[in-house]
Structure 1
C-alpha cells in the first residue's frame, strides 16, 4: 500500500505539469496570416483562437494515414471571413518551407479545413501538426488527385493571402 501511494505521489506532479504545459501550448501562437486581412498584417493565431471559430469534422481516408481518420478544425473560408481576408489565392507555408498555392475559390467550392485535431487529439509536429489543410476526400472523390493532395499542407505555420 505504501508503495502504491509513493508511486502516485511521484506520478501526479508530472501529470499536472504535463497538463499545464499542454494548456499553454493551446495559447501559443501557431499561425500567421498576412496579406489582404482587414485587421492588419500580420495576424497571429493560436489553437484557442481557431477553436473560437465554427468547427467542422471530416472523417476521411488520406494517402498519409491508415484507413479513415477524423479531422477537426475550422473551414478556411470561415477563417478568411473572420479575418476579413480578401484575395484570389492563399499561399500555405509549412514549417519546412513547403508551399502550396490554393485558389480561394477552393474554400467555397471544396470546403477544406485547417485541422488541429486528429482522431480527437491535438496534432503534434510529429503527427503532421499542429495544423493540417484537409479536403473532404471521401465526400468528394473528385478531390482524390495529385493537385488536391499537394494542396493538403501539413505542419502549417503561415498563410499569405494574395
Structure 2
C-alpha cells in the first residue's frame, strides 16, 4: 500500500500498482533538504488527485507517518507538474528512503516553486491524503 485516502468518513487504500498505472514521469531537481541534483520518478500529483476523487478540492492535506501535516493548495498542482515520487534513481522508495511516496516540487524547471512557504510541503513518508478544506 502506498497511502490511504480519507474521504466521506472512509479510509481507502491506494497501492503503488494503481499509482504507477497512471504513467511514470522523471524529474531531476534540487531539494531544499538534500544536496546535489536528485532524480525522481513518479506520477503527476494532479493525476493522483483525479484517481482518488480529490481533483475538485481547493486544497489537499498530506499527512506523514509521524503525523506531520501540510496543506497543498490547488494553485501548486495547477501551476506546475508536482510529482508524487515512487522511485529515486530508478529504485522504489522505501521507508528508509522516505517512501513509499513523497511529494516533489520540480525546482529546477519551475524556480517560482522555490519559496519558504512551499519548502515545508515537500512531504515524505506519506500516510494519508484528504481534502484540505
Note the 1:82-93 alignment, pairs <5 A.
82-85=51-54, 86-93=56-63
Query: SS in structure 1 opposite 2:117?
Result: helix
Unaligned runs of 5+ in 2: none
Contact 1:74 1:114 in 2 (8 A): yes
TM-score of the superposed pair, with normalisation by structure 2: 0.90
TM-score of the superposed pair, with normalisation by structure 1: 0.75
Q: How big is each residue's C-alpha offset from its partner over 1:70-98, in whole Å with a ceiling of 9 and x where there is no partner?
A: 11111111011122323111000001110
Structure with max Cα Rg: 1
Q: For this pair of structures, how many residues does the alignment match?
A: 131
Q: How big is each residue's C-alpha offset from its partner over 1:92-112, in whole Å with a ceiling of 9 and x where there is no partner?
A: 000111000001231111221
The answer on 1:97 being equivalent to 2:74 is: no
The answer on 1:121 being equivalent to 2:91 is: yes
Greater fraction strand: 2
Match of 1:18 in 2: none
Q: Which one scores higher on RCO, CA 8 angstroms, separation ≥ 6?
A: 2
Q: CA deviation at 1:151?
A: 0.7
Unaligned runs of 5+ in 1: 1-28
